[in-house]
Amino acid sequence: MPRVTQILRKGQKALDDLNLLKVLHSEIAHELSNPRFQDTSYGGDFVVDWDSPQTQDVVMQRKCESGEEVAVSALLGLETLGGTTLHRELLMKVCIRKPGLSSILQFDCRVADSSTNSYKFDIRNAYYLQSPISTSSSAYRGPLFRSLDPQLQEALKEYLMSRGIGETLINFLLLHLHKKEQGQYVKWLHQLESLVGKGQ
């Protein structure tokens, strides 16, 4: 009797594997036939500095006519539910360095979908860093951004926008990162398919 039970269990396992493979095939076919994020062309002044297929982020840079260097590191944040639609926020670190100086200004920013189908751009933190490799966690880097005078908050936002942190860049980053994530998801599905399909 134990041998019959063992054979039945093996048969059930094979059926479960086949069912999972069928679902994986269907999901892969759906993703490949539905490329939701096709156009990732960009017409701005930033260039891609680093974009590894294995990671979730992208780094872009530009050099202003004044000699200032602006670097943007961006990735998608968590999904949030707005009404009946899931939205992804865009998280960015923007670093600005003046020519000849080692100190930098760093801004932690968040871009979220608003209810009017446009983007709401917020600065979460603004830091002054003595050096990009500064490691002292006890050094004063600046106050809580939301505690600043509203006029100063708005002026800092305009300062970033004047350095290219605007709609063109944000649209590109959102499309590019969504497309990148979809590619990573399809690759993960193929890896599962390959693993489950071993021995079938």
DSSP structure string for 134-163: ---TTS-----GGGS-HHHHHHHHHHHHTT
For residues 152, 169, 61 and 140, what is the CA-based torsion angle, rounded to 10 degrees? 30
Q: Chain-wide mean pLDDT for the chain? A: 84
Write the CATH number for 66: 3.10.280.10
pLDDT at 51: 93
**Could you write out the three-class secondary structure of 39-101?**
CCCCCCCCEEEECCCCCCCEEEEEECCCCCEEEEEEEEEEEEEECCEEEEEEEEEEEEECCCC
Asked whether the predicted pLDDT for residue 89 surpasses 70, the reply is yes
Residues 34-58 pLDDT 10s: 777 666 677 788 999 999 988 999 9
Claim to verify: residue 56 and residue 146 sit in the same structural domain: yes
Is 42 part of any domain? no
Asked whether the predicted pLDDT for residue 115 surpasses 60, the reply is no
Claim to verify: residue 121 and residue 30 sit in the same structural domain: no
Q: Judge whether 77 and 111 are in contact, CB under 8 Å.
A: no
| Of 71, 46, 51, 35, the residue nearest 177 (C-alpha) | 51
Is 121 part of any domain? yes
pLDDT at 138: 73
CA distance 104 to 72: 13
Q: What is the number of residues in the chain?
A: 200
Is 105 part of any domain? yes
Percent of the chain with pLDDT over 70: 82
The pLDDT-based confidence of 10 (bands split at 50, 70, 90) is low
Number of domains in the chain: 2
| Of 97, 99, 88, 160, the residue nearest 124 (C-alpha) | 160
Claim to verify: residue 82 and residue 129 sit in the same structural domain: yes
Claim to verify: residue 14 and residue 77 sit in the same structural domain: no
Claim to verify: residue 168 and residue 190 sit in the same structural domain: no
Claim to verify: residue 58 and residue 116 sit in the same structural domain: yes
Claim to verify: residue 89 and residue 131 sit in the same structural domain: yes
Comparing 137 with 20, the larger pLDDT belongs to 20
| Structural domain containing residue 26 | 2-36+186-197
Answer positive or negative: Cα dihedral of 56, 146, 96, 47: positive
Is 163 part of any domain? yes
Asked whether the predicted pLDDT for residue 19 surpasses 80, the reply is yes
pTM of the model: 0.81
Claim to verify: residue 137 and residue 166 sit in the same structural domain: yes
Residues 141-186 pLDDT 10s: 788 899 999 999 999 999 999 999 998 999 899 889 988 998 999 9
Task: Give the 3-state secondary structure of residue 117.
Answer: coil
pLDDT at 196: 86
pLDDT at 164: 93
Exposed/middle/buried for residue 160 (C-beta within 10 Å: 0-12, 13-18, 19+): buried
